[in-house]
Amino acid sequence: MHPIFASADELSVPILFVTAAAFDKATESIDDRERMFLHAAGYEPKPGRYLAMPAADGKLAGVLFGLENADEPVKDLFRPGQLSTLLPPGTYRFANAPHDARLAALAFALGTYRFTRYRKAEVRNVRLVVPEGVDGEDLSRILEGVTLARDLINTPSNDMGPAELEDAARALAKQHGATVEVTSGDALAKQFPLVAAVGAGSARSARLIDIAWGKDGDPKITLVGKGVCFDTGGLDIKNDAGMLNMKKDMAGGATALALAHMIMARKLKVRLRVIIPAVENSISGTSFRPRDIYTSRKGISVEIGNTDAEGRLVLADALALADEDKPVLVVDFATLTGAARVALGPEVPPFFTDDDALADEVARCAVSENDPLWRMPLWRPYEPMLDSKIADTNNVSSGGQGGAITAALFLRKFVAAKSWLHLDIFAWTPAAKPGRPEGAELQSARALYALLAARYSA
C-alpha cells in the first residue's frame, strides 16, 4: 500500500466533515470545550472552510472541514483533497463519511503531490487512515499511475525526449514483466512513414514503442498514446504562447503508461498492448513540409496541410498497427486540438466513438470516478472537409471550424475496430484545485480503469 495510507490501528486525528444543513447534527459528537472554541472562532460550515480544534493539553484534538450540502446538485467530490495542503504533519482519519469516502481519500492523497526533480519542495508529512470499506490497495494503484503521469508530463523536454520516454516505458514494462519492442531508424521509415516524417527534423531520433503484457487467450486491449515530446509546430511554427507548454504534448503517451500500470498492477484478465509513437516535431533542413505527401502504414496517402497537425499523423500509423491485431477495444489518448479546449475548456476532455454502448459506459465511469469526460460526435458529413485534390486525404480540414471533430474523423480513417475510443485530453491544471495541484494532470485514465476493471477483473 502507498506510504501515505495508514492502517486503522495507528493513532490518528479525526476529521469531521460538516455541511451547513447538517452542522448541528454533525457536531453532536464534540465535547463542550470544543464547542465553545468552535463558536469563539466564528467557524461557518462553508465548503472548504477548515478549523483545527485544540485539545486540553495543546495537541490537535480534531479538524472540522466544510462540504457542500448533500442535496446540492453540484458537489466537488475532490474537495477533501484540499486538506492535505492545510493540515499539519500527522496521521488523520475520517470521523464521519464525506460525500464519497473513496474519492475523498484519493483526493487527499493526490493533493500531496509535488514535482521535486529540480528543486526541493515542502514535504507535507500527512497520512490518512484508509476509510472503512475502501480498498486501499486499489487506491494505491491509481495514485501510483497518476504520479507516474504527472512526473512524466511535468518533466521539461530537455530531459524528456523520445529516448527518455522509451526509458520510462521500459522501466514500467520491467516492473510488471511485460515485453517491449522499439522500432527506429530505417525500419521506422519503412514501417511507420508518418511517424518518421514528423520526427525527421529533430536530432533526437523518433521511435515507436510497443509494450505487450498478459496471456494470449485473454481479450486484447490496446492503448495508443501520442508521444510528441516537444512540438514547435514544425515549419508552420507556433507562436511563443502556443509553444510555451509543449513539453506536455507527450501526455497521451504518459496517460497510456499510467493506465497500463493500473491494469497490470491489478492483474486484469486482458492481453494488454501499449503503443507510443515518440517523436519531437522540430525545425531543420530535414523537416517535413506543407504540401508534402506520405503514404501511411495503412496505405492511405496523406497530404500535409499543416505541419502543426502532427499528432494525428503519428497516431494514424500507430492506430493502423493497433488495428492489425484485431483487439476488442482500441483507446487512444492525445493532446490533439485547441478546438477541444475552446469547446469544453481545460477540465472536460471530449471523447469520440461510434460504439454507443461503450460511450454509455465511459460516461458512467467518468461520473463515478470524478474524472470528467464528454462525448462529441464523429459527424460524418464533415469528412469532405478533409479532402485533398492530389492525395487520399489531407491532415487538416478546410475552414477553421469543428477542429476536434475533423481531427477525430481523420483518425477514424486508420482504425476499423467498432470499439474504438479517441480522447482529446488537455493534461494540465492551469490553477490549483483540491487534489489537483497546478501543472500536469492525468485525465481520462481513472475512468477507463474503472471501465476495464468492471469488465475484466479476475
Q: Which residues are catalytic?
A: 238, 312
The per-residue b/e assignment along 75-95, b for 16 or more CB within 10 angstroms, e otherwise, is: bbbbbbbbbbbebeeebbbbb
Q: ∠ at Cα 281 (279, 282), nearest 5°?
A: 125
Give kind and range of the element (H or E) at residue 368. Answer: helix 356-368
193's enclosing H/E stretch is helix 193-199
Which of the 8 DSSP states describes residue 389?
Answer: S
Q: How far apart are CA 313 and CA 316, in angstroms?
A: 5
Q: How far is CA 311 from the centre of its chain?
A: 17
- C-alpha of 257 from chain center: 10
Question: Which cell is 264 given?
Answer: 497490470
Beta carbons within 8 Å of 8's beta carbon, 6+ residues apart: 93, 129, 130, 132
Q: DSSP of 102-160, one letter per residue? A: HHHHHHHHHTT----SSS------EEEEPPTT--HHHHHHHHHHHHHHHHHHHS-GGG-
Which burial class, exposed, middle or buried, applies to 325 when counting CB atoms under 10 A from its CB (0-12, 13-18, 19+)? middle
CA dihedral 409→415→419→422, nearest 10 degrees, is: -50
**Residue burial 164-188, b: 16+ Cβ < 10 Å; e: rest:** bbbebbeebbeebebebebbbeeeb
Task: Tell which residue, 1, 3, 14, has the closest CA to residue 93.
Answer: 14
Other beta carbons within 10 Å of 41: 12
Alpha-carbon span 445 to 458, nearest angstrom = 20
**Count of other CB atoms within 10 angstroms of residue 271:** 18
